[in-house]
Amino acid sequence: MDLIILNEGLYYLIKVTPELLIGEVWKDCFDLCHIIRKKLTIYNGEINMYILKDGTFFFGCICK
């Protein structure tokens, strides 16, 4: 699975590591993306977006 991140006007694909998923159970890609989003992001209601703690924007996930 890859995460889609926007940083300074460019989109990046970032691989999800197995360490991030230790102890988690999911049934499909949408479930897995939701778990990762909850672990890594903070919701900003003013701009209606999820933001990673380093300030980049989280757009979603790609499952292969």
Q: What is the domain partition of the chain in residue ranges?
A: 2-62
Is a pLDDT exceeding 90 seen at residue 46?
A: yes
Closest CA to 4 of 53, 52, 54: 52
CA 10 to chain centre: 16
Is a pLDDT exceeding 90 seen at residue 50?
A: yes
What pLDDT does 9 receive? Answer: 85
pTM, two decimals, is: 0.73
What pLDDT does 33 receive? Answer: 87
What pLDDT does 51 receive? Answer: 92
